[in-house]
Structure 1
Amino acid sequence: MRTEPTLRIPLGILMLLAGLAAYALGVAWASQWIGQLPIWAQTIVYIVLGVAWLLPLKRFLIWMETGR
Protein backbone atom coordinates (compact mmCIF):
# COMPACT_ATOMS: atom_id res chain seq x y z
CA MET A 1 0.00 0.00 0.00
CA ARG A 2 1.16 3.52 -0.80
CA THR A 3 2.18 5.69 2.11
CA GLU A 4 3.23 8.81 0.22
CA PRO A 5 1.29 10.59 -2.48
CA THR A 6 2.86 10.52 -5.93
CA LEU A 7 2.56 12.87 -8.87
CA ARG A 8 1.53 9.97 -11.10
CA ILE A 9 -2.22 10.46 -10.54
CA PRO A 10 -2.44 14.25 -11.11
CA LEU A 11 -0.06 14.02 -14.07
CA GLY A 12 -2.01 11.05 -15.41
CA ILE A 13 -5.25 13.01 -15.23
CA LEU A 14 -3.65 15.91 -17.12
CA MET A 15 -2.26 13.49 -19.72
CA LEU A 16 -5.67 11.84 -20.05
CA LEU A 17 -7.42 15.19 -20.58
CA ALA A 18 -4.80 16.29 -23.12
CA GLY A 19 -5.03 12.97 -24.95
CA LEU A 20 -8.82 13.07 -25.08
CA ALA A 21 -8.75 16.66 -26.33
CA ALA A 22 -6.28 15.71 -29.07
CA TYR A 23 -8.39 12.67 -30.00
CA ALA A 24 -11.56 14.78 -30.13
CA LEU A 25 -9.84 17.39 -32.29
CA GLY A 26 -8.59 14.64 -34.60
CA VAL A 27 -12.09 13.22 -34.99
CA ALA A 28 -13.49 16.71 -35.55
CA TRP A 29 -10.83 17.33 -38.21
CA ALA A 30 -11.64 14.00 -39.90
CA SER A 31 -15.37 14.79 -39.85
CA GLN A 32 -15.00 16.73 -43.09
CA TRP A 33 -14.35 13.39 -44.83
CA ILE A 34 -16.61 11.31 -42.62
CA GLY A 35 -19.47 13.68 -43.45
CA GLN A 36 -19.22 12.75 -47.13
CA LEU A 37 -20.02 9.10 -46.38
CA PRO A 38 -23.56 7.71 -46.47
CA ILE A 39 -25.41 8.16 -43.17
CA TRP A 40 -25.20 4.45 -42.29
CA ALA A 41 -21.41 4.51 -42.76
CA GLN A 42 -21.12 7.71 -40.70
CA THR A 43 -23.00 6.00 -37.89
CA ILE A 44 -20.63 3.03 -37.91
CA VAL A 45 -17.53 5.25 -38.06
CA TYR A 46 -18.68 7.45 -35.18
CA ILE A 47 -19.63 4.44 -33.04
CA VAL A 48 -16.19 2.89 -33.63
CA LEU A 49 -14.41 6.18 -32.95
CA GLY A 50 -16.56 6.78 -29.88
CA VAL A 51 -15.52 3.44 -28.38
CA ALA A 52 -11.90 3.29 -29.65
CA TRP A 53 -10.56 5.75 -27.06
CA LEU A 54 -11.66 3.36 -24.29
CA LEU A 55 -9.34 0.55 -25.41
CA PRO A 56 -6.08 1.89 -23.90
CA LEU A 57 -7.87 3.40 -20.89
CA LYS A 58 -7.70 0.32 -18.63
CA ARG A 59 -3.93 -0.02 -18.94
CA PHE A 60 -3.47 3.72 -18.45
CA LEU A 61 -5.57 3.74 -15.27
CA ILE A 62 -3.65 0.75 -13.92
CA TRP A 63 -0.40 2.64 -14.56
CA MET A 64 -1.80 5.69 -12.76
CA GLU A 65 -2.69 3.64 -9.69
CA THR A 66 0.21 1.20 -9.51
CA GLY A 67 3.01 2.50 -11.72
CA ARG A 68 3.10 -0.78 -13.67
Structure 2
Amino acid sequence: MALGYKARRRWSLVILLVGLPLYIVAAVTIMNWLERPPIWVEFLVYVLLGIVWALPFKMIFRGVGRGDPEAELEE
Protein backbone atom coordinates (compact mmCIF):
# COMPACT_ATOMS: atom_id res chain seq x y z
CA MET A 1 0.00 0.00 0.00
CA ALA A 2 1.56 3.25 -1.17
CA LEU A 3 1.10 6.39 0.86
CA GLY A 4 -0.09 9.55 -0.84
CA TYR A 5 1.84 12.78 -0.79
CA LYS A 6 -0.15 14.32 2.07
CA ALA A 7 0.12 11.17 4.20
CA ARG A 8 3.88 10.96 3.63
CA ARG A 9 4.20 14.63 4.53
CA ARG A 10 2.27 14.15 7.78
CA TRP A 11 4.20 11.00 8.72
CA SER A 12 7.52 12.72 8.03
CA LEU A 13 6.56 15.52 10.45
CA VAL A 14 5.58 12.99 13.12
CA ILE A 15 8.83 11.09 12.63
CA LEU A 16 10.97 14.24 12.78
CA LEU A 17 9.16 15.95 15.67
CA VAL A 18 8.41 12.94 17.87
CA GLY A 19 10.38 9.92 16.68
CA LEU A 20 13.77 11.52 16.16
CA PRO A 21 14.00 13.12 19.63
CA LEU A 22 12.96 9.79 21.20
CA TYR A 23 15.61 8.01 19.13
CA ILE A 24 18.26 10.52 20.24
CA VAL A 25 17.32 10.10 23.90
CA ALA A 26 17.46 6.31 23.53
CA ALA A 27 20.87 6.43 21.80
CA VAL A 28 22.36 8.73 24.44
CA THR A 29 20.88 6.63 27.25
CA ILE A 30 22.37 3.44 25.83
CA MET A 31 25.76 5.12 25.39
CA ASN A 32 25.62 6.33 29.01
CA TRP A 33 24.86 2.83 30.27
CA LEU A 34 28.07 1.66 28.68
CA GLU A 35 31.21 2.93 30.25
CA ARG A 36 32.62 5.90 28.41
CA PRO A 37 34.39 4.52 25.32
CA PRO A 38 37.24 6.35 23.61
CA ILE A 39 36.05 9.49 21.85
CA TRP A 40 36.61 8.08 18.35
CA VAL A 41 34.48 5.01 19.15
CA GLU A 42 31.74 7.20 20.60
CA PHE A 43 31.86 9.44 17.50
CA LEU A 44 31.67 6.42 15.20
CA VAL A 45 28.66 4.99 17.09
CA TYR A 46 26.78 8.30 16.92
CA VAL A 47 27.52 8.69 13.19
CA LEU A 48 26.31 5.16 12.48
CA LEU A 49 23.19 5.64 14.60
CA GLY A 50 22.55 8.93 12.81
CA ILE A 51 22.51 7.13 9.47
CA VAL A 52 20.68 4.00 10.60
CA TRP A 53 17.60 5.79 11.95
CA ALA A 54 16.68 7.20 8.55
CA LEU A 55 16.97 4.00 6.50
CA PRO A 56 13.55 2.54 7.39
CA PHE A 57 11.89 5.88 6.60
CA LYS A 58 13.59 6.49 3.27
CA MET A 59 10.39 6.03 1.25
CA ILE A 60 8.40 8.34 3.53
CA PHE A 61 10.87 11.23 3.20
CA ARG A 62 11.35 10.84 -0.57
CA GLY A 63 9.90 13.84 -2.43
CA VAL A 64 8.34 15.50 0.62
CA GLY A 65 10.31 18.71 0.12
CA ARG A 66 8.93 19.18 -3.38
CA GLY A 67 5.51 20.40 -4.35
CA ASP A 68 2.49 18.10 -4.46
CA PRO A 69 2.77 16.07 -7.69
CA GLU A 70 -1.01 15.52 -7.78
CA ALA A 71 -1.63 19.28 -7.74
CA GLU A 72 0.63 19.71 -10.77
CA LEU A 73 -1.40 17.15 -12.72
CA GLU A 74 -4.67 18.98 -11.99
CA GLU A 75 -3.42 22.30 -13.40
Q: TM-score, normalised by structure 2?
A: 0.55
Distance 2:52 2:34 in 1: 16
Instruction: Give the unaligned 5+ runs of structure 1.
Output: none
What code does the residue aligned with 2:25 have?
L
Q: Structure 1 stretches (4+) deviating beyond 4 angstroms?
A: none
Q: Which runs of 5+ in 2 are unaligned?
A: 69-75
Of all paired residues, the percent bearing the same amino acid is 29
In structure 2, what is the Cα distance between the partners aligned to 1:56 and 1:46?
17
Output the amino acid matched with 1:21: P
Structure 1 segment 20-39 matched on structure 2, within 5 A: 20-34=20-34, 36-39=36-39
Partner of 1:41: 41
